[in-house]
Amino acid sequence: MTTAREIMTAGAQCVGESDSLVEAARLLRDLQVGAVPVCGEDDRLKGMVTDRDIVVRCLAEGGDPGSVTAGELADGKPVTIGADDSVEEAIATMSKNQVRRLPVIDGHDLVGMLSQADVARNYPEDRAGELLEFLSGGPVS
């Protein structure tokens, strides 16, 4: 059984919950990613912020990305996967929650990020149709 830990991108960087969205956007740019975990003062995962969140939930609403914090957009309980959970469980979690990226946790520690691309690169070729079905939320025709 392949685990999330085996195929994740290790060393995920967090934006602080009190950091501005400008700082979050710079981290997204520097890491060349579309989503970044938001961590609290206790270094625990508080949520995720995407580039889309910044545009749609701040800029389009007339917000100031210099004064709105990452924590303000990282509402709700983040969808995660355990480091030792199977890839199949990760796929099911992504499909059920309609997310493309999962923070990977070991206990309470963020240890990496698992994206659909990580899964696709490591999924057996003979099961590609099954993978597409899971990720799209329905049968592939």
Confidence class for position 128, pLDDT limits 50, 70, 90: low
Q: Give the chain's radius of gyration (CA, Å).
A: 16
SS3 state of residue 110? strand
State the CATH architecture for 4-136. Roll (3.10)
Tokens 């969140």 sit at which residue? 53
- Residue 42's pLDDT is 86
Whether 82 shows a pLDDT value over 60: the answer reads yes
| pTM, full prediction | 0.84
State the first-to-last Cα distance of the chain, in angstroms, to the nearest integer. Answer: 28
Whose tokens are 């303000």? That residue is: 72
Cβ atoms of residues 81 and 119 within 8 Å: no
| Residue 98 phi, psi (nearest 5) | 50, 50
pLDDT digits (tens, 9 = 90+) for 31-78: 999 999 999 988 789 999 999 999 999 999 999 999 999 999 986 788
Report how far residue 81's alpha carbon sits from residue 83's, in angstroms, rounded to the nearest whole number.
6
